[in-house]
Amino acid sequence: QVQLVESGGGLVQAGGSLRLSCAASGITFSNNGLGWFRQAPGKEREFVAAISWNVGTTYYADSVKGRFTISRDKAKNMVYLQMNSLKSEDTAVYYCAARYGGIHSYVSSYDYWGQGTQVTVSS
């Protein structure tokens, strides 16, 4: 059974940092893409970052490029999102997602989703 469990969300002041974690289990990782998405109240879910499990190729939304870093620990089956220089507009529920066949930025291309973790940035 595929399971993605996020953790690490919370309340932080603007300019601060948080690290989100995603524990992944139940899927084969040989050719998978893992991604982070976010959804703010009243808005559609949007792409944040993705990483290819095997090679570690990364891809970022322009809005977070240079501030966020996605990484994975293959030994622990973990994916991380290091978020620095946080802004109030980064406030959202953040979701970890997985798909077969490399990285992608479309929400609809992901097969599995976690339950989400809330990130709130106060200005």
Distance CA 25, CA 46 (A): 23
Per-residue model confidence (pLDDT) at position 102: 84
When pLDDT is cut at 50, 70 and 90, the band that residue 23 belongs to is very high
Question: What's the confidence (pLDDT) of residue 101?
Answer: 84
Contacts 24+ apart (CB under 8 A), 55-64: 57/103, 58/103, 59/103, 59/105, 61/105, 63/89, 64/90
**Mean pLDDT, residues 97-115 taken together:** 93
Token readout for 7 is 């953790």
Instruction: Answer yes or no: is pLDDT of 107 > 70.
Output: yes
Unique residue bearing structure tokens 């940092």: 17
The pLDDT of residue 6 is above 70: yes
CA dist list (Å): 76 to 23, 24, 53, 80, 89: 8, 9, 12, 11, 31
Per-residue pLDDT for 27 more than 90? no
Q: Phi first, then psi: what are they for 111, rounded to 5°?
A: -95, -30
pLDDT digits (tens, 9 = 90+) for 34-51: 999 999 999 999 999 999
Over range 3-25, report the average pLDDT. Answer: 97
Mean pLDDT calculated for residue range 95-116: 94
pLDDT grade for 72, boundaries at 50, 70 and 90: very high
User: Nearest Cα to 73, choosing from 58, 56, 90?
Assistant: 56
Residue-averaged pLDDT of the chain: 94
pLDDT at 29: 67
Name residue 106's amino acid. Y
